Every structure is written in C-alpha cells, then in structure tokens.
C-alpha cells in the first residue's frame, strides 16, 4: 500500500478532524493562512494536485524534488505525487548551489517544486524541469515501484548518501509509533503533535507525520524552533505531544522559571540527545517526560528503540530496551560481542525471516556502501552504545566521523574537502567540539601554508569561513578555526581521530583557536512568502 492510499482510508474515517494546524506564528513566517486543515479538505486538495500532475505528464518512475520547507503544501504535494507512484526528494533550502546541484543530479529528479523564496535556486539548476516542460522518460528500473522517498544523509567519506525508502518503511514507522503504549500511548483521533523539526529529515517526515496520519491525529508543524515563544505555541495549539532535539530542552531550561511552566496539555515528548544533566530537572520543572529514542534514516522503525516504559533511567543517556521485533548486538573492533556495560558498536536487524524489514532499501547508486552497511547480515550503525545487565541501551558516542549540531548530521569529510581548496590551507582536519547550546560545533584544525601571526589569525579565520559559506550550508562551516603546526597522525599517516577529538575539547578559548560562530547565520536576506 502507498502512503497516499493509507491517508485516503484515514481521511474517510476522520473527515472532519484536523489533519494539519497552522499556528499564527508559522502563518506569519510563511505568509499563509492560519488555522486547521481537516482530513477532508486535505484530501480534496491532494486530489486536485494529483490531477494537475497527471495532466502535466508525471507518474510512476519519476522523482520530484520538494523545496517547501515545513509548509502544509509539503504534505499535499507529497501525497498527490505518491498516489501516482512518484518518489519525492525533500530538498533543504539551506543548501548552497553546489550541494543542491549534486543532490539534483544524483537523484535524477525531473521536477523541482518550491515556494516563491526558493524558485530561483531551483531554476538555476538546468536538470530540473521548468513549468510546462514535459518530464523526461524514466530509465527502466531506475525507480523501484514501491519507492516513496529519497532522503539524503551525511556520508562519512564525503558526498551525502541517498537513502531509498519504500512506502512500507514509512507506514511501518507509523504503525510502530501507534503500537508503542506505555508513556507514549496514542489515542486515535485525539492527539495533537507539535514539532519544529524539518521535513527534510526522517523524524518529522516519517515518525511524527505517519504517527498522526495513521491514528487520525493532528500535526502542528512549526516553521522552526522558537525558544521564546515555544510554550505559547504549545498552549495555543493544545499540543498533547511534542518532538524535540537535545538542544531544545537546554534552551528552554535557560529561561527563568515561570508560573505557567506546567500550564499545558502535553503528555510526553519524543526525541533524542537531551543533556543528561538537565533531563530530570526538565521533567520536574515542566511536568513532561522526555522519552529518549534511537533510530536512523536507514533503520526507520525497523530497529527503533524508545524509553517509554519504566525504568527509564532518566539522566543516563538510556534510550530504552529493544522490543521483540528487533535483534541487537554490541561488538568491539574485532567483531566480538561485548560484555554488559562494555561500550561497542551497535548492530541491528529486524527479527524474523527478513532482517531488513522496515529498513531503507539501499543507498542510491552505491551498492558497495549498501553491502558494507549490511556486512555479516547486520546493519552497522556507527553508534557506540553499552547495554546493562537488563538489556537497556545507553548512548555513548558516534563511531562515524559525524558532527551532530542542532539536529543536523555533518560529515567532517565533506567540510574538509571544501576547506582544503582554500589558498591559505595546507592541510586540515575537522571534528566536533562540545557546545553548550548546539550539542556539538564544527571545529577545523588548520595547518596554514605560511605562518600566520597571532594578530592576523582572526582575519584569516574569517576569510576561510566566508569562503566556505559560498559552498556549504551555514551550519556545516567551522564555528571554530584552530591554527596548528601539524595534525595528529597515526603510523600509517592518517589523521588520528581520537587524538584530534581530545584536541577539539581543549582548543576553544586558546589564542590560536578563533571563534567564528557569529558568522554561522541563515541568509538574512531570505524573505518568506507563499507562491
């Protein structure tokens, strides 16, 4: 079954219930109408869009890019296209031309659908069809019949990888969520889920959207996270559930206590990465259980885990105990199973005859990476965890060279490849450094081609970052630039990542490490309005 067909079935049952709700703040940001959109109204809009796409010649085997931010239009276009067998590729409007050009070419989308602020970005890419141009015929077998979406994740070796996701993987995510029970029990037709997370990522596009859709709930999609107005939005929306990233509780706890801190209808919050030092205090102050969960774009709900039942081990980075549908191994570098309390890489697979049930189908055009991820019949997550004697899992760190900044996964290799082309840089290594607000920040250790005096380091760092901003999304560029004499190397002359990680902890605040975080801002000239 396709996602669109599942929506139609739910819409028939909950026709007069709200499917989407646009708050006033979000409506103002996007210059769209505020208020609810019922299942029946959404179904009618989807049907009209579907007919328009049919008339324009789009159908099975095509991929279409969606640069629609967190607008209701995202769902309407997605479901309309899905009903025709078209796969969608969510496109982040923060992408720079080179990044966007790669995704467009790699995914072979035949059409880009965007709101007015971003149409010029799409029009500048020659491989995206313009209005009125008939779509190119898809290559035979290029797009699988059951492909629902293509989501890109940061690759550890450079270019982002395209995760092919089936309709079944999306629907299974919704079914998994709906069946959780415990503190995360969903009431059909009664839940209102508020999320500021972007629809270009799996959490918002799959977990929250599918959970509400399959249970007749209402999805309240914010344009982004606004700490100052967050609780007003929660109260105004009547939200019963919120989704979060670890950075959000930290920002909310930084605000002074308020008499209305518990004045809300929230039953629970679903997310990951909360600062363990704040976890218990947040729950005590706001009266909301933060249910830490684990999943990846590749795993979907095929191997999702959540701490939705006692004991939750609050404040320990525990994300629950795997259910019966999941098999888990924790292994050391030799592949041997780790004893309880010993950290190792998390390997997962679905229980039963099909170990990849609910997982992604493949990395597009990268069979080698797909096979490597499934080496030995287990999906290798790249996350280091430990298990206690009772089977509860605790997150330790990422094994992959990935930086996690405000919910965005950033591949160090991608940033390094851009920085190495700068005239001032002889060599560079990028890694994460702890950040009190953003969880982690990007730090670049730079070996300069020529010695840079201390009084010129700030100028040089700014030059490097401004150059990187021309090729990379703002959140990927270094927030710290440290000028070093040499990089730590292994005996085989590769960067010693463990030593680099230790350097990244102590470098910020030193004379040779320049704080460039103030340069990491969204484009201030960007004006939001509806097409």
Residue pLDDT, tens place only, 335-380: 999 999 999 999 999 999 999 999 999 999 999 999 999 999 999 9
Of 353, 384, 415, the position where a domain reaches its end is: 384
Q: Are 431 and 332 contained in the same domain?
A: no
**203 and 173 within one domain:** yes
What value does the mean pLDDT take over residues 151-178?
A: 89
437 or 279, greater pLDDT? 279
Answer yes or no: is pLDDT of 275 > 90: no
Burial class (CB in 10 A: 0-12, 13-18, 19+), 125: middle
**CA 110 to mean position of chain CA atoms:** 24
Q: Label residue 123 by pLDDT band (50, 70, 90).
A: confident
Last residue of a domain, one of 384, 413, 435: 384
For residues 105 and 128, the answer to whether their CB atoms sit within 8 Å is no
Residues 74 and 216 in one domain: yes
Q: Are residues 211 and 359 in the same domain?
A: yes
Lowest mean pLDDT among 26-35, 95-104, 137-146, 508-517: 137-146
Residues 376 and 424 in one domain: no
> Would you report the helix, strand and coil content of the chain in percent, each value rounded to 5?
35, 25, 40
pLDDT score recorded for residue 136: 67
446 lies in the same domain as 366: no
Q: Residues 364, 511: one domain?
A: no
**Cβ proximity of 330 and 347 under 8 Å:** yes
Assign 525 a pLDDT band (cuts: 50, 70, 90): very low
Give me the CATH number covering residue 15.
Answer: 3.40.50.12780
Are 242 and 336 within one domain?
Answer: yes
Average pLDDT, the chain: 91
Q: Kindly state whether residue 527 falls inside one of the protein's structural domains.
A: no
Asked, for residue 235, whether it belongs to a domain, the answer is yes
Q: What CATH number did the domain enclosing 409 receive?
A: 3.30.300.30
Average pLDDT for residues 43-53, to the nearest whole number? 98
Report DSSP state, residue 227: G
Q: Which residues share a beta bridge with 451?
A: none
At residue 531 the predicted structure's pLDDT band, cuts being 50, 70 and 90, is very low
How many domains does the structure of the chain reveal?
Answer: 2
Please indicate, yes or no, if residue 132 is contained in any of the structural domains: yes
Write out pLDDT tens, residues 203-251. Answer: 999 999 999 999 999 999 999 999 999 999 999 999 999 999 888 998 8
Judge whether 529 lies within some domain.
no
DSSP string for residues in 269-290: EEEE---HHHHHHHHHHH---E
- Residues of the chain with pLDDT > 70, as a percent, come to 94
If you average pLDDT over residues 183-196, what whole number do you get? Answer: 97
pLDDT value at residue 158: 61
Mean pLDDT for 127-142 is: 61
Residue 420 token pair: 């190495």
Residue 26, both tokens: 């979000």
* C-alpha distances out from residue 278 to 144, 229, 246, Å: 45, 20, 10
Give 157's pLDDT tier (boundaries 50, 70, 90): low
Token pair in block for residue 450: 């020529």
Percent of the chain with pLDDT over 90: 77
Instruction: Assess whether pLDDT exceeds 90 at residue 417.
Output: no
Shared domain for 42 and 125, answered yes or no, is yes
Average pLDDT of 39-65? Answer: 96
Considering the domain architecture, whether residues 182 and 67 belong to the same structural domain is answered as yes
Last residue of a domain, one of 384, 414, 441: 384
pLDDT > 60? residue 151: yes
Examine residue 364 and state whether it is found in any structural domain, yes or no. yes
- Residue 392 belongs to a domain: no
Mean pLDDT of 430-444: 92
In contact, 18 and 24? CB cutoff 8 Å: no
Residue 127 confidence (pLDDT) above 80: no
Report the 10 Å Cβ neighbour count for 50.
21
Same domain membership, residue 407 and residue 321: no
pLDDT band at 529 (very low <50, low <70, confident <90, very high): very low
**The model's pTM:** 0.83
> Residue 353: is it exposed, middle or buried by C-beta count within 10 angstroms (0-12/13-18/19+)?
exposed
> What pLDDT is attached to residue 325?
95
User: Sorting pLDDT into bands at 50, 70 and 90, what band is 143?
Assistant: confident
For residues 416 and 377, membership in a common domain is answered with no
Task: Pick the closest to residue 403 from 291, 332, 494, 504 (CA basis).
Answer: 504
- Which domain covers residue 305, as residue numbers? 3-384
In a domain, 524, yes or no: no
> Does 313 fall in a domain?
yes
């Amino acid at each position: 079954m396709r996602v669109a067909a599942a929506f139609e079935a739910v819409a028939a049952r909950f026709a007069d219930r709200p499917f989407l709700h646009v708050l006033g703040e979000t409506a103002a940001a996007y210059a769209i109408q505020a208020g609810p959109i019922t299942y029946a109204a959404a179904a009618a809009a989807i049907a009209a869009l579907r007919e328009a796409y049919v008339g324009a010649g789009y159908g099975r085997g095509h991929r279409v890019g969606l640069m629609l931010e967190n607008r209701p239009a995202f769902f309407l276009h997605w479901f309309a296209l899905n009903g025709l067998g078209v796969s969608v590729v969510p496109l982040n409007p923060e992408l720079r031309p080179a990044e966007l050009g790669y995704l467009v070419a790699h995914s072979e989308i035949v059409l880009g659908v965007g709101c007015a602020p971003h149409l010029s970005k799409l029009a500048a890419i020659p491989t995206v069809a313009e209005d009125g141009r008939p779509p190119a015929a898809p290559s035979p077998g290029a797009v699988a019949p059951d492909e629902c979406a293509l989501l890109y994740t940061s690759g550890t070796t450079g270019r982002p990888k395209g995760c092919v996701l089936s309709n079944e993987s999306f629907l299974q995510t919704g079914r998994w969520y709906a069946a959780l029970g415990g503190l995360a029990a969903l009431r059909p037709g009664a839940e209102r889920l508020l999320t500021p997370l972007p629809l270009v990522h799996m959490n918002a596009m799959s977990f929250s959207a599918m959970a509400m859709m399959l249970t007749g709930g209402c999805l309240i999609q914010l344009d982004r996270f606004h700490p100052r107005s967050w609780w007003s939005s929660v109260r105004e929306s009547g939200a019963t559930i919120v989704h979060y990233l670890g950075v959000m509780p930290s920002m909310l706890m930084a605000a002074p206590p308020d008499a209305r801190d518990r004045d809300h209808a929230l039953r629970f919050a679903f997310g990951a990465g909360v600062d363990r030092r704040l976890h218990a205090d947040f729950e005590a102050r706001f009266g909301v259980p933060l249910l830490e969960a684990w999943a990846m774009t590749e795993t979907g709900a095929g191997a999702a885990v959540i701490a939705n039942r006692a004991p939750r081990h609050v404040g320990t980075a525990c994300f629950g105990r795997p259910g019966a549908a999941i098999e888990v191994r924790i292994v050391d570098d030799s592949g041997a199973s780790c004893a309880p309390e010993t950290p190792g890489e998390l390997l997962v697979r679905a229980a039963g005859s099909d170990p990849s049930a609910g997982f992604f189908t493949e990395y597009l055009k990268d069979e080698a990476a797909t096979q490597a991820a499934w080496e030995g019949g287990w999906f290798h997550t790249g996350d280091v965890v430990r298990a206690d004697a009772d089977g509860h899992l605790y997150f330790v760190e990422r094994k992959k060279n990935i930086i996690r900044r405000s919910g965005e996964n950033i591949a160090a290799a991608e940033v390094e490849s851009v920085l190495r082309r700068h005239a001032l840089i002889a060599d560079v290594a990028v890694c994460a450094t702890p950040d009190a607000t953003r969880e982690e920040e990007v730090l670049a250790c730079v070996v300069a081609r020529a010695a840079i005096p201390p009084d010129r380091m700030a100028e040089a760092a700014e030059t490097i970052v401004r150059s990187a901003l021309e090729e990379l999304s703002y959140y990927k560029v270094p927030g710290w630039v440290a000028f070093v004499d040499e990089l730590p190397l292994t005996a085989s002359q590769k960067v010693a990542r463990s030593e680099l990680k230790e350097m990244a902890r102590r470098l910020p605040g030193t004379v040779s490490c320049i704080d460039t975080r103030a340069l990491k801002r969204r484009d201030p000239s960007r004006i939001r309005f509806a097409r």
